[in-house]
Amino acid sequence: MVSDGERTATASVAASDNVAKSLPRTDGLPAAEPPGEEYSTGLPGWHVITAAARRGVRVWVVTAVLGLIIGAGLYVKHASYQATTSVVLVPNPVEQPAEGILTDVALAQSRSVAALALQRLGSSENPGSFVSSYTVTPVTDRVLLFTLHAPSSSAAVDEARAVASAFLAYRAHQFQVGEQRTLSALQQQVTQAKQQLATLTREINQLATQPASPQQQARLSALRSQRLAAQAQLPALQTAVTADQVSSRTATAHLIQGSQILDAAVASPSGRVKHAALYVCGGLLVGLLVGLAIVIIRALVSDRLRRRDDVAHALDGPVRLSVGRVRVRRGLAVAQRPEVQRIVAHLRDALPWEDRPVAGLAVVAVDDPAVPALSLVSLALSCAREGRQVVLADLCPGSPAARLLGVRQPGISTASMDGAHLVVVVPGDSVAPAGPLHPAASSAARPDPEITRACQGADILLSLVQLDPALGGEHLATWARSAVVMVTAGAASWAKIHAIGEMIRLAGTRLVSAVLIGADKTDESLGAAYPHPPAHDAPHPTPATPEAAPPTQADPALRITRR
């Protein structure tokens, strides 16, 4: 027993009672099993998709801008001017007008017409690629519209003129070839009639030189009759062929001369604008859709928890406070923001004032410790300004809370800020440092004597902790009896949050509540904890001194004083 006449604290520890209290009451009924990872809130609704799109605004804005830039680059690479021209055609009398205009469209878009146009332009471009630079549209059964794209306005006009002229020339050539084939067929009929007449005359002459006989006379008479008929048909056939030749040439001339350019090639003023809008707006739209798809799919397949109910079920503890996003960029200046002040007020309410001689509270950061560190430092300074003796223990890697107070080296330091004085404890390189409080387990690690001396006489012991499932959390009970877990929405998985909750309970520390940072405004869930059967409170940790070991008898009393 050590006394200083100033502060006296008495703690009673019963090992047998601790074991009994650590077991839950069953009263003969099966204990309720908390939900596991299969817990589901149903299919995602529209609000989930809109919330994901709102959270990922940076992603889809960036992809939209990238799509716009790519579209603009493609437009610059394939920049073109547009020119149009139209031709009027005389329909081919041997075809239906609706079918004939489709034939003319196919003819205009053939490689032969493209090659003839390139020949007139004096270009060595591939006809196959040149065909893709223009389109042919049937306006009516007699009118075709040619639309050309080229790098310059003058080139577009020249190419439009060349393509239209080449099409008319090639179409006229096809008609002339058809006329020649028809005339050749008619002339072949006349030639065949003349050959037949000459053959009959030759046979008659040969037969006349032979000796006379009844058979010879009958045969000669038949041949002469055939020659007379052939001689009579030949002039009629020649007249008909001549008439067909004249009519065919007249029809061909009408087809060729009646088909001509209707509107001369002119540059289209809106073609370049439409072309640019097509590339730029198309790239913007594609980039926007790709970005939204990435954001929404990522949100649907992610195992990161965002809703209060999901966090409460994973942690097996209530989410009693949720705030919006908090950006820590300017150190303690951000502590005046309403979100941080709400967290500080919640932590103040969670302080176990009934604990004697020191009210110990641990803030467990599941993911990013920046906001928990800022909130804990703000609470420590606020309590110190009220005249309380505050000890702040930073057990996180990198000591984010201690750095906010200007403490950068491991050890025990005194920090002063705006009239507030508090003790800062940075355990150093130890991965699981023991605190000044002894849990019920007698095998708990001995604390550092300097840490114990620094915590003697303190009213409040605040600890910033990050738990690792690979290391366990038994040391948490040596720093605080109560803990508040702080989770950033969308930063931790179900398994990690559940593991943190289990480590806190296994350490014998009471899980007061959870604070959700960056919660969605569309979250309408309550965040209530899964109901448990009633159980005894966790064993009460007791302060320790470097001179004495934890008591092991049934009801020993430990008095801690400071001179």
What amino acid is encoded at 248 in this protein? S
Spell out a b/e string for 195-212, using b for 16 or more CB atoms within 10 Å of the CB, else e. eebeebeeebeeeeeeee
Q: What is the per-residue pLDDT for 47?
A: 65
Taking a C-beta distance cutoff of 8 angstroms, is the pair 268, 274 a contact? no
Taking a C-beta distance cutoff of 8 angstroms, is the pair 348, 379 a contact? yes
Spell out a b/e string for 245-256, using b for 16 or more CB atoms within 10 Å of the CB, else e. eeebeebbeebb
Between CA 390 and CA 415 the distance in angstroms is 11
Between CA 65 and CA 315 the distance in angstroms is 40
Between CA 523 and CA 1 the distance in angstroms is 55
What amino acid is encoded at 342 in this protein? R
Across the chain, which has 563 residues, the per-10-residue mean pLDDT values are: 33 35 38 44 61 79 90 75 90 84 92 92 90 91 90 87 93 85 79 82 81 81 82 79 79 86 82 74 90 82 84 92 84 83 93 85 92 92 90 90 88 85 83 73 64 84 90 87 92 91 92 91 79 49 44 33 29
Between CA 421 and CA 117 the distance in angstroms is 91
Element (H, E) at 170: helix 153-208
What amino acid is encoded at 459 in this protein? D
Query: Can you give 47-62 as a three-state secondary structure string?
Result: HHHHHHHHHCHHHHHH
Spell out a b/e string for 39-61, using b for 16 or more CB atoms within 10 Å of the CB, else e. eeeeeeeeebeebbbebbeebbe
**DSSP notation for 57-88:** HHHHHHHHHHHHHHHHHHHHHT--EEEEEEEE
* pLDDT per position as a tens digit, 22-40: 334 434 334 444 444 444 4
How large is the angle between the packed helices 214-258 and 153-208, nearest 10 degrees? 170
Is-cis flag, bond preceding 357, omega within 30? Answer: yes
Q: What is the per-residue pLDDT for 503?
A: 93
What are the Cα distances from residue 405, in Å, to 326, 364, 376?
19, 19, 11
Counted residue by residue, the chain has a size of: 563
Q: What is the per-residue pLDDT for 545?
A: 45
Farthest CA pair distance, the chain: 175
Between CA 413 and CA 428 the distance in angstroms is 12
What are the Cα distances from residue 407, in Å, to 463, 466, 478?
15, 19, 23
Q: Tokens at residue 8, please?
A: 């006296």
Query: Can you give 111-146 as a three-state secondary structure string?
Result: HHHHHHHHHHHCCCCCHHHHHCCEEEEECCCCEEEE
CA 322 distance to own-chain centroid: 28
Between CA 166 and CA 414 the distance in angstroms is 94
Between CA 12 and CA 512 the distance in angstroms is 23
Q: What is the per-residue pLDDT for 153?
A: 82
Question: Tokens 């030749």 identify what position?
Answer: 245
Q: What is the per-residue pLDDT for 44?
A: 56
Between CA 168 and CA 261 the distance in angstroms is 8
- Give the residue ranges of DSSP H helices in 259-328: 271-301, 308-315
Domains of the chain, each with CATH number or no CATH: 65-275 (no CATH), 318-327+339-525 (3.40.50.300)
**DSSP notation for 322-334:** EE------SGGGG
* pLDDT per position as a tens digit, 491-547: 889 899 999 999 999 988 999 999 999 888 878 888 887 655 544 444 445 454 444
Cα end-to-end span (Å), the chain: 12
Q: What is the per-residue pLDDT for 88?
A: 93
Q: Which residues pair with 535 in a beta bridge?
A: 24
What are the Cα distances from residue 375, in Å, to 348, 382, 497?
10, 11, 20
Task: Give phi and psi for 117, each to the nearest 5.
Answer: -65, -45
Between CA 12 and CA 318 the distance in angstroms is 30
